[in-house]
Amino acid sequence: MRTRLRTPGIDRVLMLAVLALLVLGTLLVWSATSHRTDLTGGDPTAYLRKQLVNVSIGLVLMVVVMATDHRWVRILAPLVYLASIAGLVLVLAMGTTINGSQSWIDVGGMSIQPSEFAKLAVVIGMALLVAERREGRRHEVGGTEVGGMLLIAGVPAALIMLQPDLGTLLVLSATVFGVLAVAGAPRRWLAVLLAGGVVASVAAFAGHVLKPYQVDRFLAFTNPDLDPRGAGYNTEQARIAVGNGGLFGQGLFHGTQTRAGFVPEQHTDFIFTVAGEELGLVGAAVLIGLLGLVIWRALAISAESTDAFGRVAAAGIACWLGFQAFQNIGMCLGIMPVTGVPLPFVSYGGSSMFAVMLAVGLLQNIHLRSAASLPTRYARPVRQSRAAGGTPISRPAVLTRQAAGSPGART
Amino acid sequence: MNRTDLSRLRLVVVRVLVFSLFATLVARLYYLQVVSGDSYRRAAASQSLREVLQQPERGLIVDDQGRPLVANRTAWVVSVDRTLLGRLSRHDRSVLLRRLAHAIHASAHEIRHDLGTWNGSPYQPVPVASDVRQAVALRILEQPEDYPAVVAQQQSIRAYPRPFGVNLADIVGYLSPITAGELNRAKKDHDTSLDAESTVGRAGIEEEYDRYLRGHPGYQRVAVDSMGRVLGQEGQVRSRPGDTLVTSIDARVQSVAETALHNAITTARATYDPVTHRNYRADSGAAIVLQAQTGRVVAMASEPTYNPNVWVGGITKRQLAALYAPQAGDPLLSRAYQGQFAPGSTWKPIMTVGAFNHGLGPSTRLDCSSGFQVGGRLFHNYESESYGMIDFAKALQVSCDTFFYRVGYHFWQLFGQDPTNVNARDPLVAEAQAFGFGRRTGIDVPGESSGRIADRHWKLAYWKSMKGYYCRIDRHPPAGASAYLRLYAHEFCLEGSYYRAGDAVNFAIGQGDTLVTPLQLARAYAALANGGTLYEPRIAKAIVSPDGRVVRHIAPKVQGHVADPAHAIAYVDNALLGTAETGTMAWKMEGFPLDQVHIRSKTGSAEVYGKQSTSWVASYDRNYVVLMMVTQGGTGSGTSGPGVRRIWEALYGVHGDQVDRRDSVIPGVVEPDALPSFESDGSILPPRPRTTGRTP
How many other CB atoms are there within 10 angstroms of residue B461's CB atom? 12
Q: So what's the pLDDT on residue A8?
A: 59
B13, B17, B25: which to substitute to probe chain A, counting the most A Cβ within 10 Å?
B25
| B262: nearest Cα among B280, B287, B281 | B287
Specify whether the CB–CB gap between B54 and B233 falls below 8 A. no
Q: A-chain residues within 8 Å CB-CB of B45?
A: 256
Q: So what's the pLDDT on residue B527?
A: 96
Three-state DSSP state, B47: helix
CA separation for the pair B526, B290 (Å, rounded): 7
For chain A, the maximum distance between any two Cα atoms, rounded to a whole number of angstroms, is: 70
Which residues are within 8 A (CB) of A398 and not within 5 positions of it... i.e. 6 or more apart?
Answer: A379, A382, A383, A386
- Quick check: A399 pLDDT over 70? no
pLDDT in tens, B138-176: 888 888 778 888 888 888 889 999 999 999 998 999 988
Q: So what's the pLDDT on residue B63?
A: 93
Which residues are within 8 A (CB) of B345 and not within 5 positions of it... i.e. 6 or more apart?
Answer: B399, B401, B509, B510, B602, B603, B604, B605, B606, B616, B636
- Between B290 and A5, name the one with better pLDDT: B290
Mean of the pLDDT values across residues B44-50?
A: 80
CA separation for the pair B527, B521 (Å, rounded): 10
Mean of the pLDDT values across residues B70-87?
A: 85
Beta strands, E only, B38-124: 49-54, 61-62, 68-80
- Between B24 and B6, name the one with better pLDDT: B24
pLDDT in tens, B521-559: 999 999 999 999 999 999 999 999 998 899 999 999 999
B34 Cβ under 8 Å from any chain A Cβ: yes
Mean of the pLDDT values across residues B174-196?
A: 86
How many other CB atoms are there within 10 angstroms of residue B177's CB atom? 18
Record: contact B30-A257, CB cut-off 8 A: no
Q: So what's the pLDDT on residue A357?
A: 96
B105 Cβ under 8 Å from any chain A Cβ: no
Q: So what's the pLDDT on residue B311?
A: 83
Q: B-chain residues within 8 Å CB-CB of A335?
A: 24, 28
A138, A305, A329: which to substitute to probe chain B, counting the most B Cβ within 10 Å?
A329
pLDDT in tens, B551-595: 999 999 999 999 988 889 999 999 999 999 988 899 999 999 999
Per residue, the 3-state secondary structure of A170-194, as one string, reads: HHHHHHHHHHHHHHCCCHHHHHHHH
Three-state DSSP state, B380: strand
Least confident stretch, B283-292, B427-436, B606-615: B606-615
CA separation for the pair A368, B224 (Å, rounded): 53
CA separation for the pair B659, B669 (Å, rounded): 11
A374 Cβ under 8 Å from any chain B Cβ: no
Record: contact B30-A405, CB cut-off 8 A: no
| B340: nearest Cα among B188, B513, B95, B205 | B513
- Between B53 and B582, name the one with better pLDDT: B582
Mean of the pLDDT values across residues B591-620?
A: 92
A292 Cβ under 8 Å from any chain B Cβ: yes
Task: List the single residue in A with minimal CA-CA distance to B42.
Answer: A244
Three-state DSSP state, B689: coil
Facing B30 at nearest CB: one of A244, A262, A281: A281
Mean of the pLDDT values across residues B112-132?
A: 75
Three-state DSSP state, A41: coil
Q: What letter would DSSP give residue B604? A: E
Specify whether the CB–CB gap between B510 and B343 falls below 8 A. yes
Mean of the pLDDT values across residues A282-300?
A: 95
Which pTM was predicted? 0.68
Q: What is the dihedral of CA B562, B566, B569, B572, to 10 degrees?
A: -140
In this prediction, residue B259 has a pLDDT band, given cuts at 50, 70 and 90, of very high
In this prediction, residue A395 has a pLDDT band, given cuts at 50, 70 and 90, of very low
| B667: nearest Cα among B649, B637, B692, B641 | B692
CA separation for the pair B332, B225 (Å, rounded): 47
| B395: nearest Cα among B430, B349, B344 | B349
Specify whether the CB–CB gap between A128 and A77 falls below 8 A. yes
CA separation for the pair A216, A204 (Å, rounded): 13
Facing B33 at nearest CB: one of A280, A315, A323: A280
- Between A186 and A40, name the one with better pLDDT: A186
- Quick check: A339 pLDDT over 90? no
| B62: nearest Cα among B548, B670, B540 | B540
- Quick check: B693 pLDDT over 80? no
Specify whether the CB–CB gap between A348 and A47 falls below 8 A. yes
Specify whether the CB–CB gap between B448 and B517 falls below 8 A. yes
CA atoms within 13 A on the CB side of A289: 9
CA separation for the pair B237, B107 (Å, rounded): 36
Share of chain B above pLDDT 90, in %: 50
pLDDT in tens, B365-417: 999 998 898 877 888 887 778 899 999 999 999 999 999 999 999 999 999 88
A410 Cβ under 8 Å from any chain B Cβ: yes
pLDDT in tens, A75-109: 888 888 899 899 899 888 877 666 666 677 776 66
CA separation for the pair A87, A351 (Å, rounded): 12
Specify whether the CB–CB gap between B131 and B78 falls below 8 A. no
CA separation for the pair A259, A274 (Å, rounded): 10
- Quick check: B71 pLDDT over 90? yes
CA atoms within 13 A on the CB side of B600: 27
- Quick check: A3 pLDDT over 50? no
Taken in order A371, A377, A382, A388, the sign of the CA dihedral is positive
Mean of the pLDDT values across residues B63-85?
A: 88
**Average pLDDT score over chain B:** 88
Q: So what's the pLDDT on residue A370?
A: 78
A235 Cβ under 8 Å from any chain B Cβ: no
- Quick check: A394 pLDDT over 60? no
End-to-end CA gap in chain B:
126
Record: contact A184-B47, CB cut-off 8 A: no
Record: contact A285-B15, CB cut-off 8 A: no
CA separation for the pair B262, B165 (Å, rounded): 13
Q: So what's the pLDDT on residue B531?
A: 92
Least confident stretch, A32-46, A331-345, B120-134, B309-323: B120-134
CA separation for the pair B168, B277 (Å, rounded): 34
Taken in order B557, B559, B564, B568, the sign of the CA dihedral is negative
pLDDT in tens, A126-181: 998 888 876 655 566 777 888 888 999 999 999 988 888 888 989 999 999 999 98
Q: What is the dihedral of CA B309, B313, B314, B317, to 10 degrees?
A: -70
- Quick check: B312 pLDDT over 90? no
**Where are the alpha helices (H) located in A136-262, listed in sequence order?**
143-162, 166-183, 187-206, 212-219, 231-245, 256-260
Q: So what's the pLDDT on residue B443?
A: 95
Q: So what's the pLDDT on residue A238?
A: 93
**Which residues in chain B (220-239) have CB-CB distances under 8 A to chain A?**
223-227, 231
Q: So what's the pLDDT on residue B691?
A: 62
Which of B31-63 are b and which e, b meaning 16 or more Cβ less than 10 Å from the residue's Cβ? ebbeeebeebbebbbebbbbbbbbbbbbbbbbb
Facing A303 at nearest CB: one of B11, B225, B227: B11
Q: B-chain residues within 8 Å CB-CB of A284?
A: 29, 33
pLDDT in tens, B350-359: 999 999 999 8
| B551: nearest Cα among B675, B680, B445 | B675
CA separation for the pair A88, A95 (Å, rounded): 9
- Quick check: B275 pLDDT over 80? yes
A140 Cβ under 8 Å from any chain B Cβ: yes
Residues pairing with B535 in the sheet: B558
Least confident stretch, A205-219, A331-345, B253-267, B326-340: A205-219
CA separation for the pair B671, B651 (Å, rounded): 10
CA separation for the pair A315, A88 (Å, rounded): 24
In this prediction, residue A343 has a pLDDT band, given cuts at 50, 70 and 90, of very high
Specify whether the CB–CB gap between B408 and B507 falls below 8 A. yes
Mean of the pLDDT values across residues A378-386?
A: 42
- Quick check: B436 pLDDT over 70? yes
Record: contact A333-B30, CB cut-off 8 A: no
pLDDT in tens, B461-481: 999 999 888 999 888 888 887
- Quick check: B339 pLDDT over 70? yes
Q: B-chain residues within 8 Å CB-CB of A183?
A: 7
B37 Cβ under 8 Å from any chain A Cβ: yes
In this prediction, residue A216 has a pLDDT band, given cuts at 50, 70 and 90, of confident
pLDDT in tens, A311-338: 899 999 999 999 999 999 999 999 999 8
Q: A-chain residues within 8 Å CB-CB of B228?
A: none
Side chain identity at residue A246, one-letter code: G
Q: So what's the pLDDT on residue A373?
A: 59
Q: So what's the pLDDT on residue B4?
A: 66
pLDDT in tens, A13-27: 999 999 999 999 999
Long-range pairs for A193-196: beta carbons < 8 A, 24 or more residues apart: none
pLDDT in tens, A39-68: 777 788 889 999 999 999 999 999 999 988
Q: So what's the pLDDT on residue A6?
A: 46
B27 Cβ under 8 Å from any chain A Cβ: no
pLDDT in tens, A237-271: 999 999 999 999 999 998 888 888 888 889 999 99
Q: Quote the crossing angle between the two packed helices A12-33 and A350-369, to the nearest 10°.
A: 170
